[in-house]
Amino acid sequence: QQQVKQSPQSLIVQKGGISIINCAYENTAFDYFPWYQQFPGKGPALLIAIRPDVSEKKEGRFTISFNKSAKQFSLHIMDSQPGDSATYFCAASRSGGFKTIFGAGTRLFVKA
Amino acid sequence: DTAVSQTPKYLVTQMGNDKSIKCEQNLGHDTMYWYKQDSKKFLKIMFSYNNKELIINETVPNRFSPKSPDKAHLNLHINSLELGDSAVYFCASSPIDRQETQYFGPGTRLLVL
């Protein structure tokens, strides 16, 4: 019930291409779904987040698509750049729950 | 201006030793956390503290003891270190009205030999 499943484990994309990372959750009590970006040697940093009352959120080249009925959400990185090469984590939490469950991470490499 | 800071950045020690990691946040947040990231990058919550009080202990061995002297600090003491404790430990904090949004420190890389 507490798991967040993330795929793929790793992803190689050409510069200018679209990177897509998928996540699925089980616990319907979750009401906040963030994506974190982590560069080597650094801590994760919040990239973009969505709540279940909307199906899509876009910030610059980053878009979250959310499917409440399927309990799935995904991150799309448009016009992927070498600087986007990092590990991406999806996560899920419940408001006031003091606990965030992270997916296993996706290592993205964008080829120049 | 470092928002969430941790010391030390690297820690190399022998099995059986006791060590501490310190964390400080200057964001004025009420909630702080410790996470463990293993060699496969899997990120798992260990403890959550709200206003110096322990809220969540994710079945972490008793060898791990967090201490929060005030809202801005959450330290982690580890007794009798084991090889399996080798990992990167991240401190994080979040504001009381947006607990789900976490701000992570740079991590402490612990290697137990």
Residue A6 token pair: 């993330």
Query: What is the dihedral sign for C-alpha B38, B43, B46, B47?
Result: positive
Q: How far apart are CA A102 and CA A6, in angstroms?
A: 9
What average pLDDT does range A7-23 have in this prediction?
98
CA distance B15 to chain A (A): 24
What confidence category does residue A11 fall into, taking pLDDT thresholds of 50, 70 and 90? Answer: very high
Q: Which of A22-36, A88-102, B27-41, B99-113 has the lowest mean pLDDT?
A: A88-102
B:60-89 residues touching chain A, CB 8 A cutoff: none
Q: How distant is the Cα of B59 from the closest Cα of chain A, in angstroms?
A: 13
Tell whether A43 is within 8 A of chain B (Cβ): yes
Residues on chain A touching B31 (C-beta within 8 angstroms): 98
Residue B96: strand, helix, or coil: helix
Task: Print burial letters for B58-80: b (CB count within 10 Å at least 16), e (below 16).
Answer: eebeeebebebeebbbbbbebee
Choose among B58, B101, B105: nearest Cβ to A43: B105
- What's the whole-number average pLDDT of chain B? 93
Contacts of residue A111, Cβ cutoff 8 Å, sequence gap at least 6: A12, A13, A14, A15, A82
Contact A104 B90 (CB under 8 A): no
E strand or H helix at A11:
strand A10-14
pLDDT in tens, A66-109: 999 999 999 999 999 999 999 999 999 988 778 899 999 999 99
